[in-house]
Structure 1
Amino acid sequence: MAGQKGEKERERAFYENGGKLHEKLIASCNGRPIPIRSYSCEELLRATNNYDPSHIFHRDKWYNGSFEGRMISIKKYSRYDKNSLFTDIAVSAKMSTHNNVLKLIGCCLEAQVPISVYESAANGSLSGRLFNVTSDHDGAQQHQREPLSWQSRLKIAREIAHAVSYLHTAFSRPIIHRDIKSGNVFLDQNNVAKLTDFSLSISIPEGQTHVEDVVYGTVNFVCPHYMVTGYITEKVDVYGFGSFLLELLAGQSKWKDLFCNPDSFDVEDFENDKFFFAINEVVDPAILVGEEGSVVWQQLQAVLRLALICRKKDPEIRPNMVDVTKELRKIERFIL
């Protein structure tokens, strides 16, 4: 009887979740829902060795797994908010063709809370690399791996900027991510950056300049204008991306100091004697070793200036993400 009851519950969950997801996919994809592979609960249990804690690679919800000889990443949603959950799946499906978005492979709809299956994020989260910690199977924090080089960080910045630009410009209704940060960027086996977690994403209606909603996001990454007005435009992501650039620059050693006093630096600092002080105060020392006076030093100056412009309080002063991407390409090639 217990087995029959469990089977009926799974069947009920499958049809209920499938219906809601289908609606969200149709709404998101202009009536042409993207086909998504369906996984059973048993298949994902086998893929993760019964969700063995040693398979966790990011916080308490992302697992490494293996299915049919292929490495995969499995997301178990910790928050029971099905609206944001289905938004995450639908936008991930829509964005899966982009090389800098973690590709959605499928999902398990027969679980009470659907489980998503993605391509492998073999090198874990960017936050784990920047802040040099990973979770072991007991949840303790262990220091591992060398810090990311400056060129790696600059490449990641350009790749994520490109993904966000695509969100804003590729569709008739621009999509705003609302939570761009290192914890929502993963690295594949080749250290290609992959944007993920679209659970807070929202679309701007066609013909409109903004959409209104309650304030969601992460402290220090949320646009001040959005916090006051509830207005969401592409410039909300630009502000968040500016904070993301500061994460890449600051790393573990400078991040907390920087955001304890976020108004310490402004773009004007680069027009006077404060520049060298600002770089030394903001940038991860691991980047600066042996780089004084080099091309890297000038790239750091340019990226820090860009980050601060992106974080300007007035949204109208901030660039759009297409221009941010172009600027990062120039900085990476050192055509300044």
Structure 2
Amino acid sequence: MLRDINECDVKNRCSRRCHNVEGNYTCSCPPGYRGDGYIDGSGCKFPLMQISLGISLALLVLFTFVFILCWGHKQRSLKRLRRMYFEQNGGNYMLQQIYRQQGHTDRTKIFSEEELKIATNNFDESRILGRGGQGTVYKGILSDNRHVAIKKSRISGNHRQIKDFINEVAVLSQINHRNVVKLFGCCLETEVPLLVYEFVDNGTLLEHIDPLKNKNSLSWETRLRIAAETAGAISYLHYAASIPIIHRDIKSTNILLDHNHRAKVSDFGASKLVPLDETQITTVVQGTLGYLDPEYLFTGQLNEKSDVYSFGVVLVELITGNKAVEFNRPEERNLAMHFASLMKEDNLRKILDKRVLDVKNAGQLKEVAFLARRCIRVNGEERPTMKEVAMELEGLIAVKKHPWVKGEDMMSEVCEYLLGHVASRYGNAPAGTSAGYNGGYGNASADTLAGYDSIQKQMEFEIADGR
């Protein structure tokens, strides 16, 4: 009887593990290894690549799962945060106001934060149009290719006056005055509301009258028209808006010009809504150095005459070409004070802008100078109203258009024209005057014509006094 020999005890071809079988033997690999176990075969190899790939795939799946969880949590957090900001910024109240605006729902839109991020390339630095005390203004392009200016406020964490802000947005959204920058809407999903205005493409008034910024100065006719348009817009805010608005930051950098050099009053970040039953309000003093009403500065009492003072400074800038505050000016840093001093000394020619001073313009320049002096009087009660200022400037333009009006008949002719022009604009034109023009100012009160009466008497007095 033959005895089986254990081939595993003798030389064999196994690389790792040998298994004796009757008359032969087999080879195998240890657990975790791959191959046939034979030396002259594939042998036994540790599957490092496969294990690494498996681990990598497992980690990738785990990482993806964790990322999705984190992304979802972040999106839910952002959604909650946006909702909180929306409610905090008076979004629900704003929606109610929009729904109540019959015929105006197409003028006001509540934009999402994502829309405005796309419009401004995530508020890229290259899109900045300017920075001011109220915030930063970016140029944006909406999905419908409209170019807009998006104002991002610097103030955060102060929501005490958010209802006033929403009221202001609701009122401005209803204003359709050609010389007031249109408000398209706002975004309430951010920590502070973002305002979306129409984009005005020709820079600020200061850029056009400052000789250091623009050598091609605006003509006197254009300057006078810009002054009249701006005065009309401010008068509209004071008297024709559903809730009177005091701008509180009238200055040459807040008067924008379009490609036709038409004026657009902008930047209502500091403006205040004044209830109809109040003539003035007490508030924290806010404004720009050089344009700030001194009476408001000392008393904290804000009224429409504060805007009159600021506009008076703009008038002085228009006729002099100088800045409201110039620290390098040797005589007086404050333009308004310097101007008033020269007017008192009857030395107006010293400060007039030589680029517009002409024999044909001398009379109008002097008239505007006297008007500016009345606007910047320290006592607010002695200043004219913006209605009166707007009417006087329009009157100067009307006289320019009708050069045949001369001599003693000038005042009566101009007054007759203006009374008809203004009455038709405000409603109820007197007999014998044209009522065909309607500038959107609404109906005039008796004070309107009485106010113009005071201008007429003032002009007659000053002409008799040697003007």
TM-score normalized with structure 1 length: 0.81
Are 1:180 and 2:250 counterparts? yes
Are 1:97 and 2:169 counterparts? no
Out of 350, 356, 361, the position equivalent to 1:287 is 356
Are 1:195 and 2:265 counterparts? yes
> Does the CA contact (< 8 Å) of 1:92 and 1:103 recur in 2?
no
Match of 2:119 in 1: 47
CA distance in 2: counterparts of 1:305 and 1:47, whole angstroms: 46
> Does the CA contact (< 8 Å) of 2:294 and 2:378 recur in 1?
yes
> Does the CA contact (< 8 Å) of 1:124 and 1:186 recur in 2?
yes
Match of 2:147 in 1: 71
> Does the CA contact (< 8 Å) of 2:113 and 2:187 recur in 1?
yes
Q: 1:285 offset after TM fit, Å?
A: 3.2
Structure 2 counterparts to residues 29-178 of structure 1, below 5 A: 35=105, 36-59=108-131, 61-67=136-142, 68-80=144-156, 81-82=158-159, 87=164, 90-95=167-172, 96-131=175-210, 143=213, 146-171=216-241, 173-178=243-248
Distance 1:43 1:152, change over 3 A: same
Distance 1:231 1:150, change over 3 A: same
Q: 1:311 offset after TM fit, Å?
A: 0.7
> Does the CA contact (< 8 Å) of 2:171 and 2:242 recur in 1?
no
CA distance in 2: counterparts of 1:317 and 1:184, whole angstroms: 25
> Does the CA contact (< 8 Å) of 1:87 and 1:201 recur in 2?
no
Structure 2 counterparts to residues 235-246 of structure 1, below 5 A: 235-246=305-316
Distance 1:84 1:300, change over 3 A: farther
Identity %: 36
CA distance in 1: counterparts of 2:214 and 2:340, whole angstroms: 34
CA distance in 2: counterparts of 1:163 and 1:254, whole angstroms: 21
| Residue identity in the other structure for 2:171 | K
Are 1:13 and 2:82 counterparts? no
3-state SS of 1:218 partner: coil
Moved more, 3-12 or 174-183: 3-12
Q: 1:260 offset after TM fit, Å?
A: 3.5
| Residue identity in the other structure for 2:85 | A
- Structure number with greater Rg is 2
Question: Can you list the C-alpha shifts for 1:236-286, whole angstroms capped at 9, x where unaligned?
Answer: 21111111212222335786236446434449948xxx55x42332x3333
Question: Can you list the C-alpha shifts for 1:117-161, whole angstroms capped at 9, x where unaligned?
Answer: 11111112223333368xxxxxxxxx5673333222212111111
> Does the CA contact (< 8 Å) of 2:324 and 2:335 recur in 1?
no
Q: 1:181 offset after TM fit, Å?
A: 0.7
> Does the CA contact (< 8 Å) of 1:181 and 1:240 recur in 2?
yes
Q: 1:116 offset after TM fit, Å?
A: 1.1
Match of 1:314 in 2: 379
Distance 1:83 1:130, change over 3 A: farther
| Residue identity in the other structure for 1:54 | S
Distance 1:86 1:118, change over 3 A: farther
> Does the CA contact (< 8 Å) of 1:58 and 1:124 recur in 2?
no
Moved more, 86-95 or 224-233: 86-95
| Residue identity in the other structure for 1:311 | I
CA distance in 2: counterparts of 1:53 and 1:132, whole angstroms: 28
Cα RMSD over matched residues?
3.1
Q: 1:89 offset after TM fit, Å?
A: 6.0
Distance 1:238 1:173, change over 3 A: same
CA distance in 1: counterparts of 2:280 and 2:226, whole angstroms: 28
CA distance in 1: counterparts of 2:340 and 2:322, whole angstroms: 21
> Does the CA contact (< 8 Å) of 2:317 and 2:323 recur in 1?
no
Distance 1:302 1:207, change over 3 A: same
CA distance in 1: counterparts of 2:342 and 2:317, whole angstroms: 21
Match of 2:337 in 1: 263
Moved more, 116-125 or 144-153: 144-153
Question: Can you list the C-alpha shifts for 1:20-74, whole angstroms capped at 9, x where unaligned?
Answer: 7629x85xx9x75964212222221221223232222222611222111211111
Moved more, 5-14 or 97-106: 5-14
| Residue identity in the other structure for 1:321 | M
Distance 1:297 1:57, change over 3 A: farther
Structure 2 counterparts to residues 208-247 of structure 1, below 5 A: 208-247=278-317
Distance 1:39 1:171, change over 3 A: closer
CA distance in 2: counterparts of 1:211 and 1:287, whole angstroms: 39
Aligned length: 314
Question: Can you list the C-alpha shifts for 1:158-209, whole angstroms capped at 9, x where unaligned?
Answer: 1111111111111465322211111222223332211122232223333333
Structure 2 runs not aligned, ≥5 long: 1-69, 401-409, 411-467
Match of 1:140 in 2: none
Distance 1:85 1:240, change over 3 A: farther
